[in-house]
Amino acid sequence: MAEHPAYPVGLRLSGRRVVVLGGGQVAQRRLPALIAAGADITLVSPEATPSVEAMADAGEITWARRPYQDGDLAEAWYALIATSDPAANTAASAEADRHRVWCVRSDDADQATAWTPATGHSEGVTVAVLTTDARGRDPRHTAAIRDAVVEGLRDGTLVAPHHRTRAPGVALVGGGPGDPDLITVRGRRLLAAADVVIADRLGPRDLLAELPPHVEVIDAAKIPYGRYMAQEAINNALIEHAKQGKSVVRLKGGDPYVFGRGMEEVQALAEAGIPCTVVPGISSSISVPSAAGIPVTHRGVAHEFTVVSGHVAPDDERSLADWPSLAKLTGTLVVLMGVDKIGKIAETLVAHGKSPDTPVALVQEGTTAAQRRVDATLATVAEVVRAEEVKPPAVIVIGAVVNVGPSPAA
């Protein structure tokens, strides 16, 4: 049976009876894809792992809590045989043969009439990799090939040039805090398919160097804005390029909606009738502290974290933050855009009740090669920032979580 290569085919199992024998690790791994395929699944097994049991509890599968018995495979279209009893597996396999039911066997691929490929998905395509014969089966090899293909499709290094799917209009992509590995898979894929990228100063700048030469990269900070406000100029650039039928990515630092003016761009695009998709990003407010060894919450230490903008001083009439209330919170305060105003901020927090000894950490250029962390307290932070020449961009963490990690200073 194994001398010929397997014939690859995609089974359309929606509403069709599929029988799974055995409720262990194999079933646990295979069931999600069968459920996703819409199969009408019956699991036959006296026991099941907690995850498999949860699928039964959720009504995703029907569970017959007993061992396999002859007749279980009647009317099935497909069977997965994975019990821990070799005799039951052999008997079930023979029954599958009698009923002409394609079956996979976890214990003996050579005796199976079907093999499960290593599968992955990207952008509406399923990648399935099979070995050519059962004796030469090396699941790690097929999984590695699957991973390489899926990863290539996701990051755009594997693109069929004439068939690439372009997102129409504009994608507002949260690029994460700076490390190019910290953008989402979707963001990276959209970036790889873009004609024009309008990028902020913050975010994963290194990814821009990987873009093919035909991609026009525009530095948002350098868009000439004449009598316009900078944001209006950026909005107009997005609209103009999209109107030319181009696929435009607006690459932003962190998450587009965390002090990122993302919604202003979404609104401007909506008014211009340009389709827009928003891809969330990893915000620096959480990831930069994390990269410096600071958890924004910690059991028994902080039950809340609050992210606040420090771009205007607490006594500035434009400030929307209620600093006296923030001073009363017991959890973590994360201040973005606060380096210039940290003296005033610390003073205000102390004036409204925070201890001057409250630990403070400033993490500059987090997740990049230039990352550095400077520690202080509310009493000393203004002086420390001056002495250490801390510069933006930096995330400032205020609270006891600063000291919970194994080595607070870096």
Ligand X SMILES: C[S@@+](CC[C@H](N)C(=O)[O-])C[C@H]1O[C@@H](n2cnc3c(N)ncnc32)[C@H](O)[C@@H]1O
Contacts of residue 311, defined as CB under 8 A and 6 or more positions apart, other chains included, come to: 336, 337, 338, 341
In the stretch 10-29, what mask flags binding to ligand X with x, by CB under 6 A? --------------------
Dihedrals φ, ψ of 345, to 5°?
Answer: -65, -45
Least distance to ligand X, CB of residue 285, Å:
6
Supply the angle between the helices 342-351 and 381-388 in degrees, to the nearest 10: 170
From 142, 290, 332, 367, residue interacting with ligand X (rule: CB under 6 A) = 367
Minimum separation from the CB atom of position 330 to ligand X (A): 23
Its sign, for the CA torsion 347, 350, 354, 358, is: positive
Q: What residues are labeled active site?
A: 200, 222
Structural tokens at position 256: 């587009």
Q: Which residue number, 116 or 283, has a Cβ lying nearer to ligand X?
A: 283
Taking the complex as a whole, the smallest distance from the CB of residue 260 to ligand X amounts, in Å, to: 4
Q: How far is the CB of 308 from ligand X (least distance, A)?
A: 11
Q: Which residue has the tokens 């000291």?
A: 403
Region binding ligand X by CB under 6 A among candidate stretches 91-99, 209-217, 221-229, 249-257: 249-257
Write the interaction track for ligand X spanning residues 373-392; mark x where CB under 6 A is met and - where it is not.
Answer: -------------------x
Q: Taking CB under 6 A as the criterion, which residues in 332-351 touch ligand X?
A: 336-337
Element (H, E) at 102: strand 102-105
Q: Could you say whether residue 307 binds ligand X (CB under 6 A)? A: no
Nearest distance in Å: CB 192, ligand X: 22
Q: Which of 234, 366, 385, 397 binds ligand X (CB under 6 A)?
A: 366
Stretch that binds ligand X, among 225-233, 247-255, 297-305, 347-355 (CB under 6 A): 247-255
Among 253, 280, 289, 399, which residue interacts with ligand X (rule: CB under 6 A)?
253
- Cα(200)–Cα(213) distance, rounded to whole angstroms? 19
What minimum distance in Å lies between the beta carbon of 391 and ligand X?
10
Is 331 in contact with 305 (CB distance < 8 Å)? Answer: yes
Paired tokens of 95: 């029954």
CB-based burial label for 196 (10 Å; 0-12, 13-18, 19+): buried
178 belongs to the binding site for ligand X (CB under 6 A): yes
Compare residues 112 and 191 and give the one whose CB is closer to ligand X: 191
* Segment 272 to 291, residues that bind ligand X, using CB under 6 A: 283-285, 288
Nearer to ligand X, 24 or 392 (CB): 392
The yes or no reply on residue 305 touching ligand X (CB under 6 A) is no
Q: Do 68 and 96 touch, CB atoms closer than 8 A?
A: no
- Closer residue to ligand X in complex, CB, 82/199: 199
Using CB positions, name the residue nearest to ligand X: 254
Report the residue from 172, 365, 397, 402 that binds ligand X according to the rule CB under 6 A: 365
Size of the site for ligand X (CB under 6 A): 24
User: Which pairs count as long-range contacts for 290-293, CB under 8 Å and 24+ apart, including other chains?
Assistant: 291/177, 291/179, 291/363, 291/366, 291/367, 291/371, 292/361, 292/363, 292/366, 292/371, 292/373, 292/410, 293/373, 293/405, 293/406, 293/407, 293/408, 293/410
Spatial CA neighbour of 169 closest among 233, 235, 243, 219 = 243
Stretch that binds ligand X, among 106-114, 164-172, 256-264, 266-274 (CB under 6 A): 256-264
DSSP state of 3: T
Beta partners for residue 279, in sequence order: 173
DSSP string spanning 248-259?
EEEEESB-TTSS
Which residue in 22, 177, 331, 359 binds ligand X (CB under 6 A)? 177
Closest CB 278 distance from ligand X, rounded Å: 12
Q: Is the peptide bond before 168 cis (omega within 30 degrees of 0)?
A: no
* Contact set with ligand X (CB under 6 A): 177-178, 202, 253-255, 258-260, 283-285, 288, 336-337, 363, 365-368, 392-395
